Structure 1
Amino acid sequence: MSCFKTSETISKLKTLIEIPSVTGTENTIAEFIEESLKKCRPNLIYRQPLQDGRFNVVAHFKGGAGPKILIFGHMDTVSAGEGWRRNPFSATIEGDRIYGRGSQDMKAGIAIALSIAENISLDRSKLKGDLVIAFFPDEEAFSAGARKFSLEFPPVDFGIALEPSFGEIVIGAVGKLVLECEVFGRSAHGSEPQKGINSITEASRFISAIDNIKLPSHPHCKAQPFMPLRINGGKDFYSPDVPDYCHFIIGKQTVPGETGDSVLGSLRKLYENLNFASRFEFKIGQPYYPAYRLEENNPILQKLIAAVTTVTGKSPSLSFDDGVSDCNILSDSGIPSVCYGPFGNNMHVADEWVSIEEIEKSGIILQKLLFV
């Protein structure tokens, strides 16, 4: 198998950066990725449509009898924002850096995947096992693409998100929950508030008490607190009566082993212990990302560690992320997954960049894992 082609990968990355793909507008870049993969003659390539007209791109390359590996990532970026000293959509190269929106997060990973697919097309016999390449829209919002893929995906043994991982291999992450609550009080005239049950007062008392809930921790992650996000109650106009309805939202990151049901249970227990006069109804809202952690003895993870060590000269740290990604969704669906990819700096802010050297290292490492 020929070596990793860095210059061609940089050329692909420049084209990808020049295609704006802010969340919700990914179809143009998806079509470019689809056409690029078609040129590599995969055994199968198809779209997975989302309800809003966007789609996943999935390509399947048949290999030898080795493990079936999925490399994946997202096509969308956050908006460019303000404060750029360079055009965010022109892929400016300065020394080892390529500047542009999405350069690090994560169009460099897409470019690497396209170069690997191109290498496969030159000599299919060197692919150790089947390879699935999949790219999704909407990761920066609700992970709609990954959720669609998780419902219907080809058999794979391991997944690698080509997200920036800063030299480490991310083997786990916190989860994320949105919890909604409706509070039903009783209305009364404002001159006789004692005859009513003020839903806003009741909600405020509950929210003030949530810090008393004992939070579970994890050996690789501290306990994650509740965070009130929004509260609405009363009428939209002035009315001299006791508000009988209130709605509030609480956010919470979770640790491995902590589930939506267990968190709901802790809220309901608090409600019961405080003897509220009003009725509370809880439910899990969206988005919901389960926490996950991959076992360190996973054999394919060990092969990835060996590849990183061989190429870089040092064994990579195995890290636990404090943010969510598509890895949470795919891990929960039964695909053991990690994040490993090239990095730079200024992710989600002005003058985002990725290192050319790290792109080359990541490409070589992935080919060492995938190719004979």
Structure 2
Amino acid sequence: MEKFIDLLKRLISTPSFSKEEEKAAEVMREFLQLENIPFKVKKNNTWTFNKHFTKGKPTLLLNSHIDTVRPAKGYVLDPFSPIEDGDKLYGLGSNDAGGPLMALLAVFLHFYDREDLPFNLIFAATAEEEISGRQGLEIVLPEIAPVAFAIIGEPTRMELAIAEKGLLVLDCFAHGKSGHAARFEGDNALYKALDDIQKLRNFEFEKADGILGAVKITVTQIEAGTQHNVIPDICHFVVDVRTNEFYSNKEAAKIISELIDSEVKPRSFRLNSSGISVDHPFARKAAEMGIRIYGSPTTSDQAIISFPSVKMGPGDSARSHSADEYIYKSEIIAGVQRYIELLEGLKI
């Protein structure tokens, strides 16, 4: 595993913000070249097939991302210095998602030469996950289709997220009429927005008893007015909606639009909830191994995948995007072994 830890250190030392992953992609490709593994590229994405890839077998995708968020305020350590403290490895992207990326790469190499696999394997190191960008996994999927199943590497403490909530962002506009604040005139758009926000705070979607729980509605931004003595004629507020398996993003947007008086403009419908049944062979095998199965409240590249997928990897989501991010090297090593046990003999 030492070479994978060394590769992770190189990645930590290579700034790789979303849309700026060129050098990190080069690091991944140099590693594959040294391992004599042929690969394909598109933009800042890199993917490779197992040696005995055979048409007719189902294909399993192992995917994680090479991009990171920008360093959080409060960093004490250099975010681009891979500092080791015993078992701990510090650095931006070490936990999200360097550890999962290395574990999946190690698993791919473990099975790379196997001729008796009941499935094909594709390993993909992709870009723009942190911003749900359109130049990451989304442009790789048409190049590798069809895929029967995917493991998306994210820090889940090697617990199995068989579903994750979708993400819907709404720009809402309350409309009023401007006037002088000193006189009883005008129609205050800010007050109208507050009435709608109160409706959203009190509203609950009817269907909520699935693995993902209730739909979560959160107002996260608001802006109105031009100066202190002018009644605002428009108020803009932003709503973050995390959808469950019972509502598509389009359905959720329609329900909210009919609930409030403000004009509702969805930014996108593309990041819907996703997941697999507890009866899927991978989920059943995980359950037999005593692995905790749950629904994830956060969004990953699963949201753009149309085929069955799960989210699983070493590390802890609570450390993601935090100052002085770290992962335990032992977590990565244990994660590799757990992945191998799950894939050995799996039939999908």
So what's the TM-score if we normalise by structure 1? 0.79
Q: Which residue of 1 is the match for residue 275 of structure 2?
A: 293
Q: Which residue of 2 is the match for residue 360 of structure 1?
A: 333
Contact 1:92-1:100 at 8 Å conserved across structures: yes
Query: Any idea what SS the aligned residue of 1:125 has?
Result: coil
One-letter code aligned to 1:289: L
Deviation at 1:335, TM superposition (A): 2.0
Task: Give the alignment of 1:112-191 within 5 angstroms.
Answer: 112-119=103-110, 123-144=113-134, 145-150=136-141, 153-187=144-178
Is 1:322 aligned to 2:297, yes or no?
Answer: yes
Cα RMSD over matched residues?
3.0
Residues 335 and 200 from structure 1, CA distance in 2 versus in 1: closer, same or farther, beyond 3 angstroms? Answer: same
Measured against aligned partners, the alpha-carbon deviations of 1:269-326 in whole angstroms (never above 9, x if no partner) come to 323xxxx6xxx432212586312231011123334556xx3xxxxx101111121111
Deviation at 1:11, TM superposition (A): 2.1
Residues 148 and 257 from structure 1, CA distance in 2 versus in 1: closer, same or farther, beyond 3 angstroms? Answer: farther
Is 1:98 aligned to 2:89, yes or no?
Answer: yes
- Aligned match for 1:340, one of 309, 312, 317: 312
- Aligned match for 2:62, one of 66, 71, 76: 71
Q: Which runs of 5+ in 1 are unaligned?
A: 1-5, 50-54, 310-314
d(CA) in 1 for partners of 2:105, 2:182: 70
Contact 1:36-1:114 at 8 Å conserved across structures: no
Measured against aligned partners, the alpha-carbon deviations of 1:28-85 in whole angstroms (never above 9, x if no partner) come to 10122133234445565121x3xxxxx3222233435653110001111223335555
d(CA) in 1 for partners of 2:328, 2:223: 46
Measured against aligned partners, the alpha-carbon deviations of 1:163-206 in whole angstroms (never above 9, x if no partner) come to 12113111112222111123333445667654x43333322222
Contact 2:21-2:67 at 8 Å conserved across structures: yes
Q: Which runs of 5+ in 2 are unaligned?
A: none
d(CA) in 1 for partners of 2:2, 2:178: 70
Deviation at 1:360, TM superposition (A): 1.8
Deviation at 1:127, TM superposition (A): 4.2
d(CA) in 2 for partners of 1:192, 1:353: 58
Which of 1 and 2 has greater Rg? 1
Aligned residues: 340
Q: Which residue of 1 is the match for residue 41 of structure 2?
A: 46
Q: Percent identity?
A: 27
- Aligned match for 2:245, one of 252, 256, 269: 256
d(CA) in 2 for partners of 1:302, 1:106: 26
Measured against aligned partners, the alpha-carbon deviations of 1:87-119 in whole angstroms (never above 9, x if no partner) come to 433323333322222222111222233334444
Contact 1:260-1:284 at 8 Å conserved across structures: no
Contact 2:210-2:245 at 8 Å conserved across structures: no
Q: Which residue of 1 is the match for residue 236 of structure 2?
A: 247
Deviation at 1:267, TM superposition (A): 2.3
Task: Give the alignment of 1:276-291 within 5 angstroms.
Answer: 280-286=262-268, 289-291=271-273
Contact 2:315-2:331 at 8 Å conserved across structures: yes
Residues 115 and 95 from structure 1, CA distance in 2 versus in 1: closer, same or farther, beyond 3 angstroms? Answer: same
Contact 1:37-1:117 at 8 Å conserved across structures: no
Query: Any idea what SS the aligned residue of 2:272 has?
Result: coil
Measured against aligned partners, the alpha-carbon deviations of 1:237-294 in whole angstroms (never above 9, x if no partner) come to 5665x533332221122221122222222223323xxxx6xxx432212586312231
